[in-house]
Amino acid sequence: MTTNHPDTVTGEQPMGTGSSASLSLASVLAEPARRTPDAPAVLEGPERVEYGELWEQVRRHAAALRDLGVTAGDRVALVAPNVVDFVRAYYAVQVLGAVVVPVPVLLVASEAAHLVSDSGARTILGHSSQLELARGCAERTGANVVTVGDVDPRQRKYDEPSLTELAAETEPLSGFVTRAPQDEAVVFYTSGTTGKPKGAVLTQLNMVMNATVNAFDANDTDSSDRVLGCLPLFHVFGQTVSMNTTFRAGACLVLQPAFDPAQALQLIREHGITQFNGVPTMFGRMLEAAPSDLRLPSLRLCVSGGAALPVSVLERFNERFDTRILEGYGLSETSPTATVNQPSIGTRAGTVGHPLWGVEVEIAEPDSERIELLPRGTRGEVVVRGHNVFAGYLGNPEATRAALVDGWFRTGDIGVRDEDGFLSIVDRKKELIIRNGYNVYPREVEELLLEHPELAQVAVVGLPDPTRGEEVCAVAVHAKLSAGDTDQSVSDRVVEWAATRLAAHKYPRRVVFTDELPLGPSHKVLKRELRDRIIRDEQHASRN
C-alpha cells in the first residue's frame, strides 16, 4: 500500500536517514485491509468496523490532518481512551509519517502538559470525552486542539476544528508516506519514578518488529482470534501487544473503553473472546468478579505483563478459564516485549520466559559502568539488545548514555536466568529494600503474603528506619474481615504467619491496610506513592 510518490501525500520527499530501505507502522493496518477488507477489525459497543472500511477512514483522517498543516516528522499528541477514534487518529498520524505522542487520560492537565511541551507537539488530538484535559494542555503549552469524535454542542465553546467532521468531507489519501526504519514512530513517556517523565523514542523498526514477532513467533495470534482490548491503548503494552499485534495478524480487536471486570466477563461471552491481555491486577479482579459457581468461558491465550504475576493468581485463573497465561516482560524502552513464555520453546510459571525472536537478554553486573555479563544462575541487572530497543530519550542525551551502554539497554531491573534460559525478574533496583545490610526483594515477600487467605492484594515497600536503614512494610487490601476483627488483629496474625515462612530480615514487621492500592495509568501499583503516604501519615501523627 506504500505510495511511490510521497508528494501526493505531503508535497515533500520522504524523511529518513538517506537509506533506500523503508518501513512504516501504517502498513500494519494497510496489509490486512488489502488482504481481508471484509474481515472485522474493531468492535466497540454497537460499532463494528471492517478492515477495508477502517483503512479508508484512516486515510480520510490523514488527509484532514494534512490540510490542518501536519507533515512528516511532526509530533502529534493523542488524548483518547480505548475507542475506535483512537485507532483512526493513531494510524492517520502514521499515514502522514508523523509521530504519535500518547497522553494517558488519567493524568491531570499539568502532568499531561509536560508530555506535550517536552515532545514539541504543536497539535493535540483530543477525543470528545477528554476535551477538558486536552484544553488544559493547550492552555499551558500553546498547542492547538483538534477534536476527535462526536462533540456535544454544549462543548463547542472554542473555535476548534473537528477531525471527524473534516475527514467525512475529505478525499482519502492514496497511500502512506514512506519512512526509514530508524525514523520515529511513537514517543512514550516513562512513568517517571524519579524526576519528570522521559520520552522514549520508538522507531518504525521497533514498533513494526515487536508487533510482528509478538503475533507470529511469541503469541501465535491467528486471524480468527478476537482480542479483548482493555489495556489502555495510550500505554505501550496495550498499544503494541493488543492493538498493533492484533492488526498485524489480521485478527479482531474488541475494545473496552475502561477496564471493568464484570463487563470484561460479559464481553468475553458476547463476542467469543479468545485472547485476553492484561496486567496482574486485571487477572486478580477478574477472578474476584467471577462467581465461584459460574461456569466461565474458555480463553485460548492470555498474556500478562507490566508487573510480576503471583503464581497463585496464575494457577487459579488458568483453572477457572481453562486457559494458559503466558507471562512476559518488557518496558516502554523495549517496544515493549523483551521476553515472554513461548509454548514453542517451553513455559514455566513464575518466570517471564525466553527472549523474543531477534532479541538478546542477559544478566549483567549491576554496579559496573560497563556491561559485564554474568553466568547463568547469577542475580544481576537485566540488559537487552535487539530490534526492540529504543533510539534514546527525546532531548536527553545524558539519560540516553546512561541507559544505552556498550550496545545494551540497562533496564534497571534485577533478574536471573536459569540453566534452561528462563528469565525471572526479582525486582527493580529502585525498589530493593536493604534491611540491616541484607537485600530484601519485595516481589519475593509479596508472592508469599498473597498466599495468606485474609489478604486480597499486597505491595511491599521499604520504610526509613533509624537503626536498620529500612524496615519491611506490607500494604494490603483485606480479602475478608470477620466480625470482631480489626486491622491490628489481622496485621498481627499476618506478621506472625510470615515470620515462620521468611528469613528474619525479610518478613514484614508492619502490615498497613488500605481500601485500594494506588495504580498508575498502566495499572502498576505506585509503590513510591504508598511509601510517601505512610511516611506523611507517621509525621502527621507524631506532630499531634
Task: Examine residue 40 and state whether it is found in any structural domain, yes or no.
Answer: no
Provide the Cα torsion 370, 373, 377, 383; round to 10°. Answer: 70
pLDDT of residue 193: 45
Look-up of cell digits 497463585? 312
CA distance readout (Å), 282 to 276, 288, 332, 352, 534: 10, 10, 20, 18, 25
Helix (H) / strand (E) element for 274: namely none
| 402 and 495 fall within a common domain | no
Look-up of cell digits 540516553? 400
pLDDT of residue 454: 94
> Listing from the earlier edge strand, what are the strands of the sheet with 123-127?
144-148, 123-127, 75-79, 99-102, 184-189, 199-203, 392-393
HEC string of 314-331 equals HHHHHHHCCCCEEEEEEC
**Which set of grid coordinates corresponds to residue 374?**
554474568
Query: What residues contact residue 19 under an 8 Å CB cut-off, 6+ apart?
Result: 180, 181
**Which set of grid coordinates corresponds to residue 258?**
475502561
Bridge partners (DSSP) listed for residue 275: 227, 301
pLDDT of residue 165: 96
Task: Examine residue 335 and state whether it is found in any structural domain, yes or no.
Answer: yes
| 454 and 389 fall within a common domain | no
Amino acid identity, position 166: L
What proportions of the chain, in percent to the nearest 5, are helix, strand and coil? Answer: 35, 25, 40
Task: Examine residue 36 and state whether it is found in any structural domain, yes or no.
Answer: no
CA distance readout (Å), 481 to 455, 510, 516: 10, 18, 15
Distance of CA 190 to the CA centre of its chain: 10
Cβ neighbourhood burial of 273 (10 Å; 0-12, 13-18, 19+)? buried
- The structure's pTM equals 0.84
pLDDT of residue 159: 85
Task: Examine residue 242 and state whether it is found in any structural domain, yes or no.
Answer: no
Task: Examine residue 120 and state whether it is found in any structural domain, yes or no.
Answer: yes
pLDDT of residue 191: 63
pLDDT of residue 195: 61
Q: Domain of 438: which CATH number?
A: 3.30.300.30
Report helix, strand or coil for 199. Answer: strand
CA distance readout (Å), 274 to 223, 265, 282, 347: 11, 12, 16, 19
| 286 and 346 fall within a common domain | yes
Where the chain has pLDDT below 70, the residues are 1-19, 157, 191-195, 429, 544
Residue 153: other Cβ atoms inside 10 A: 6
| 394 and 482 fall within a common domain | no
Domain-ending residue, one of 404, 428, 452: 428
Q: Could you give the count of Cα atoms lying within 13 Å of 424 in the half-sphere of its Cβ?
A: 19
Domain-ending residue, one of 428, 450, 478: 428
| 10 and 151 fall within a common domain | yes
Helix (H) / strand (E) element for 10: namely none
Distance of CA 452 to the CA centre of its chain: 29
Quick one: angle between helices 311-320 and 280-289, nearest 10?
50
Task: Examine residue 325 and state whether it is found in any structural domain, yes or no.
Answer: yes
pLDDT of residue 308: 80
| 171 and 314 fall within a common domain | no
d(CA 450, CA 311): 9
d(CA 544, CA 540): 7
Task: Examine residue 270 and state whether it is found in any structural domain, yes or no.
Answer: yes
Bridge partners (DSSP) listed for residue 302: 276, 325
Q: Domain of 80: which CATH number?
A: 3.40.50.980
**Which set of grid coordinates corresponds to residue 56?**
479508508
| 376 and 495 fall within a common domain | no
Residues in the chain: 544
**Which set of grid coordinates corresponds to residue 172?**
482519502
Report helix, strand or coil for 379. Answer: coil
Counting the structural domains of the chain, the total is 3
d(CA 183, CA 120): 16
CB 462 within 8 A of CB 433: yes
Q: Which residue in 304, 310, 236, 277 sits closest to 460, CA to CA?
A: 310
Q: Could you give the count of Cα atoms lying within 13 Å of 392 in the half-sphere of its Cβ?
A: 14
pLDDT of residue 4: 35
d(CA 21, CA 28): 17
Look-up of cell digits 501504517? 26
Report helix, strand or coil for 298. Answer: coil
| 404 and 464 fall within a common domain | no
CB 97 within 8 A of CB 145: no
Task: Examine residue 338 and state whether it is found in any structural domain, yes or no.
Answer: yes
CB 166 within 8 A of CB 150: no
| 263 and 392 fall within a common domain | yes
| 85 and 162 fall within a common domain | yes
pLDDT of residue 54: 98
Q: Domain of 266: which CATH number?
A: 3.40.50.12780
| 407 and 455 fall within a common domain | no
pLDDT of residue 40: 98
Longest distance between any two alpha carbons in the chain, whole Å: 76
| 89 and 169 fall within a common domain | yes
Domain-ending residue, one of 400, 428, 456: 428
Question: How does DSSP assign 397-425, residue by residue?
Answer: HHHHHHHEETTEEEEEEEEEE-TT--EEE
- Segments forming the whole domain that contains residue 343: 259-428
